[in-house]
């Protein structure tokens, strides 16, 4: 079951690396650092919510909505698939990890006396 714990974190780190590659399209300097903000935000969320799957799912959902609204990715299917869907997938994986751990930790109901 440990694999379910690490899959969303690995996906989020791969997403950060993917978006970090786009920063290399700009010249080194201030513009480079500005383009690294999404990468640093993703890595900060992964580090801050390492043990808290539900909080990480909510954080990635908020980032997903903010990115979709800010960049208007709903207007172009290719932009939506490239920018919005990866955040959604990471959010869903964190949620699945939370639900799997919650189901595993829930004790069975106590028998009722008759």
| Domain boundaries defined on the chain | 2-104
Q: Judge whether 53 and 97 are in contact, CB under 8 Å.
A: yes
**Chain segment 14-36, per-residue pLDDT in tens:** 999 998 998 888 888 888 998 89
Q: What is the pLDDT of residues 34-86, one digit of tens each?
A: 889 989 999 999 999 999 999 999 999 999 999 999 889 999 999 999 989 99
**What pTM was estimated for this model as a whole?**
0.82
Task: Dig out the tokens for 72 from the structure.
Answer: 């208007």
- Compute the distance between CA of residue 84 and CA of residue 14 in angstroms, rounded to an integer: 15
Instruction: Please tell me the distance from the alpha carbon of residue 33 to that of residue 9, in angstroms, as a whole number.
Output: 23
């Amino acid at each position: 079951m440990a694999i379910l714990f690490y899959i969303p974190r690995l996906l989020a780190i791969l997403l950060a690396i993917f978006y970090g590659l786009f920063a290399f399209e700009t010249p080194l300097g201030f513009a480079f650092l500005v383009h690294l903000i999404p990468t640093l935000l993703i890595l900060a969320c992964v580090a801050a919510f390492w043990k808290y799957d539900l909080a990480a799912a909510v954080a990635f959902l908020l980032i997903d909505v903010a990115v979709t609204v800010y960049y208007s990715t709903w207007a172009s299917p290719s932009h939506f698939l490239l920018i919005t869907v990866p955040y959604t997938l990471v959010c869903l994986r964190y949620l699945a990890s939370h639900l799997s751990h919650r189901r595993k930790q829930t004790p069975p109901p106590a028998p009722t006396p008759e």
